[in-house]
A and B are shown apart, each in its own frame.
Chain A
Amino acid sequence: MNLPLTSQIINLLAAIMLLLSFAMLTQRRILSLINLFALQGLTLTLSTLVVAWSTGQDHLYYSAALTFALKVLILPWVLHRLIRKLSVKWDVETLINIPTTMLVGIVLVILAFNVALPISQLAGTITKSTLGIALACVLLAFLTMITRSKAVPQVIGFLAMENGLFFAATSATYGMPMVVEFGIALDVMVGMVILGVFFFQIRERFDSLDIRHLEKLKEE
C-alpha cells in the first residue's frame, strides 16, 4: 500500500501550499513575506520530490533541484539583499480590509476547484486532485499582487504565481519537458535582475517604492 500513502503526503503538501498562499495574502511585513515565499518554494520542492519518487519520473528530480536552487536559495537571497539595500527591510504595509480579502480569496478557491474539476477527472496522474489547489494558489497570488501598493510585495506575489504554475505542471502532467523548465527558470532569473534594476530606478525617481506614485497615466 505504497501509493495511497504518497498520495496522502502530496495532498498534505498541497494543503500547506494553499495555507501559505493565504498567509502571504495577509502578511504585512516584507521580511516575513519573503520567508513565506521561501517556505512555499520548499513545499513545492518536497512535493515534486515525493511525486518523482513515487512515479519514477527521473526528470522530476532535476525539476525539484531547479526549484530548490531558484525558489528557496537564489530568489529569497536576492530579495533579502534588495530590501536591505533599498532599506525597506522593516517596512510594514497597511493592508485595508484583511477580512474582505480573505473572503474574496475563499471565493477564488471555490472557483478554482470548479474550473479544475473536469480536468482533474480526466488526468491520469496520482496528483490530479491537487490541480484545483494549484489553480487556487495562482489566483491567490494574483490577488496578493493587486491588493499591494508597494513594489517589492507585488513582485513577491508575481513569483508566488510562478510557484503555483509549477505546482500545476506537476499536478496535471508530472512536469513540463526539461528544456521548457530551464527556459522558464531563465526567464524568472532575468526578470528578477531587471526588476532589481527597476526598483532602484523607481526609488531614485520617486524617493519611494510606493506604486501609488505610478498612477499618473490615465485616460482623461
Chain B
Amino acid sequence: MNWQLYLVLGTPLLGGALLALWGHKSWAASLNIAMSIATFIAAAALTAHIISEGPLITANEQFFVDSLNVFLVALTAFVSMTTSLFSRPYMRVEHAHGKLNDNRLRLFHSMYQLFVFTMLLVLLTNNLGILWVALEAATLTTVLLVSLYRTPASLEAAWKYFILCGVGIAQALFGTILLYSASEKVLGSGGGALLWTHLETVAGSLEPTVMSLAFVFLLVGYGTKVGLVPLHNWLPDAHAEGPTPVSAVLSGLLLNVALYALLRCKVLVDGALQAPFASHLMMGFGLLSVVVAAFFLSRQKDIKRMFAYSSVEHMGLITFAFGMGGPVANFAGLLHMTVHSLTKSAIFFAVGHAAQKAGTQIMDDIRGLMKISPTVGWGLMLGSVAILGLPPFGVFASEFLILTSAMRQQPWATPFLLIALGVAFAAVFSKVQPMVFGETNARRLPHPPALIPVFAHLAIVLALGFYIPPYLVDWYHEAAKLIG
C-alpha cells in the first residue's frame, strides 16, 4: 500500500470532479491552486519515498515508479502548480475583457485538473496499453481547452490538433498491438505481456523484426505528440490559439510526457534488436526538428507561435540527445528536459501577461514592455536569454553537454546543430529586444499579474546553471542508466 502514489493520482482527479461542479465560482481559481499544491506535495512525498526506498511496483503491478519517471512526476506536479498560480490573474483578466463566460471558466478549471491527472497516469502506469489510453485522454482533455475562446482560428487549431494527434496516436496503438504480439509469445497472453517491468526482463528474446516495425509506428505516433518535424503541424496552432496557461503546460509538460512514452519503448526495442536502429531514427527526426524549427523561427509574427517553434526545436534537441545515447548524452537530455520545461513555461507566463497588456499577440505591435511593467519585460527578456542557451543559465549547461557529446559520438551532426542554434538565437533575440525596450503602447490591467512563477522558474534554471546539487546528479545518472 503506497499512499503517496494514490494521492498523486487521486488529488487531480478529485479536483477535476469538484471543479466540474463549482469551476465558475469566484473561489474556483483558488481551489484549482489548492488542488495543484496538494498534488505537488504528494509528488514530493512520493519522490522522497523513491529516493530512500528504491523503485516501487504496486497495485497488482499496475503502477511502477523508478528514478526516471519519478523525476518527471515531480517536474509535472511542480510546473502544473506554478501554472495554476499564473492562471488565476490571467483568467480573471480574460474574464474581465469578456473573452470568457462562467461556463467556459468551469470547463477550463475542470479540464486543467483532468489534464494533469492523465499526464501523471501516463508517467506512473506500468502497462503500455494504459499508457496509450492515458496519452489519448490527455489529447481529449486539451482539445476543448485549445478552442476555449471559440474564435474561428482557435476552432481551426483545435480541430487540427484533434485530427492530427488522433491519427498519430492511432499509429502508436498499432505499434502497441505489434509490440504485444511480440511479447505475448514470450510472456504468454494476458495482462502480463504489456507490463513494462515484465517486458524489460525479456527484451532480449522479443522478435526483432516485429519490434523494429512496432517502433516505427510508435515513433510516428508518439512523435506526433512530441512535435517532431514533419509531424509538428498541430503544435504552433494549438499553442498560439489556446489560452496561455494551456500553452505553458502543453510545451512544458505534455511534450515531455510524450517523449517519456517513446523512451520507454526505445529501451525495449534496443534490448530486442541489439542494434542502434531506434537510436538512428530518433537522431534523424531530432536533428530534422532542430534545423527546420530554427529556420521557421524568424518567419513568425505571433509571439506564442514563435515560442511554439522554439519548443519544437528544443524537443528535437532532446530527442537527438537520447538518440545518441550513452551516459553523458542521456544525462544532458534529462537535464535539458528539466530546464526547457521550466524556462518555456516561464516564458509563456511572461508572454501571456505581455500579450494582455499590449492587447495583441502580434510581435510588431508589442513594444516597450519595460516602460509599463519592468517585471514582465525582464521576465520575457531573461526567459528568452535563458532559452537561447546563454550562460549562466541551466540551458547553456545542457546544450553544452549535448554539443560536446555530439562532437565525440556523432561529429557529422555538430555543424547542423551549431548553425541551427545560431539561427535560432538571431531570430528570437532580434524579435524580443524591441518588444522589451523602447517606446510603449501597453495598457494597465484590471488585475495585477502573477510574476512569482516566472521568476521562481528562472531562478531554478539559473541555479541549475551554476550548481547542480549532488543528489540531483545521482538522480539523473540513475535515470540515464535506465534509458541505456
Q: Residues of A with Cβ closer than 8 Å to B? A: 57, 115, 118-119, 122-124, 135, 138, 142, 145, 151, 154, 158, 161-162, 165, 168-169, 172-174, 176-177, 179-180, 183-184, 186-187, 190-191, 194-195, 197-198, 201-202, 204-206, 211, 213-217, 219-220
Instruction: Determine whether the beta carbon of A173 is less than 8 Å from that of B155.
Output: no
27 of the cross-chain contacts (CB-CB < 8 Å) are A118-B209, A123-B181, A138-B170, A142-B167, A154-B163, A158-B166, A165-B173, A165-B174, A172-B177, A174-B189, A179-B129, A179-B130, A180-B132, A184-B132, A191-B162, A194-B162, A198-B147, A198-B162, A201-B150, A202-B155, A206-B152, A214-B155, A215-B156, A217-B153, A217-B160, A219-B296, A219-B299
Residue B428 is within 8 A (CB to CB) of chain A in the complex: no
Chain A residues, Cβ within 8 Å of B134: 183
Query: Closest Cβ of chain B: how far from A198's Cβ, in Å?
Result: 7
Residue in A165, A216, A220 whose CB lies within 8 Å of B156: A216
Name the residue in A142, A151, A174, A205 with the highest tally of chain B Cβ atoms < 10 Å from its Cβ.
A205
Residue in B143, B153, B173, B178 whose CB lies within 8 Å of A194: B143
Query: Closest Cβ of chain A: how far from B397's Cβ, in Å?
Result: 33
* A interface secondary structure, majority: helix
Residue B180 is within 8 A (CB to CB) of chain A in the complex: yes
Provide the bound-state CA to CA distance between A168 and B175, in Å: 11
Chain A residues, Cβ within 8 Å of B178: 119, 172
Instruction: Determine whether the beta carbon of B127 is less than 8 Å from that of A119.
Output: no
Chain B residues, Cβ within 8 Å of A169: 177, 180
Residue B66 is within 8 A (CB to CB) of chain A in the complex: no
Query: Closest Cβ of chain A: how far from B28's Cβ, in Å?
Result: 21
Residue B350 is within 8 A (CB to CB) of chain A in the complex: no
Give the size range of B's interface with the partner: 35 or more
Instruction: Determine whether the beta carbon of B170 is less than 8 Å from that of A187.
Output: no
Provide the bound-state CA to CA distance between A158 and B134, in Å: 19
Provide the bound-state CA to CA distance between A122 and B170, in Å: 23
Chain B residues, Cβ within 8 Å of A138: 170, 174
User: If A122-B209, A216-B153 touch, does A180 touch B194 (CB 8 Å cutoff)?
Assistant: yes
Provide the bound-state CA to CA distance between A211 and B240, in Å: 20
* B interface secondary structure, majority: helix
Q: Which of chain A's residues has its CB closest to B192's CB? A: A177
Chain B residues, Cβ within 8 Å of A183: 129-130, 132-134
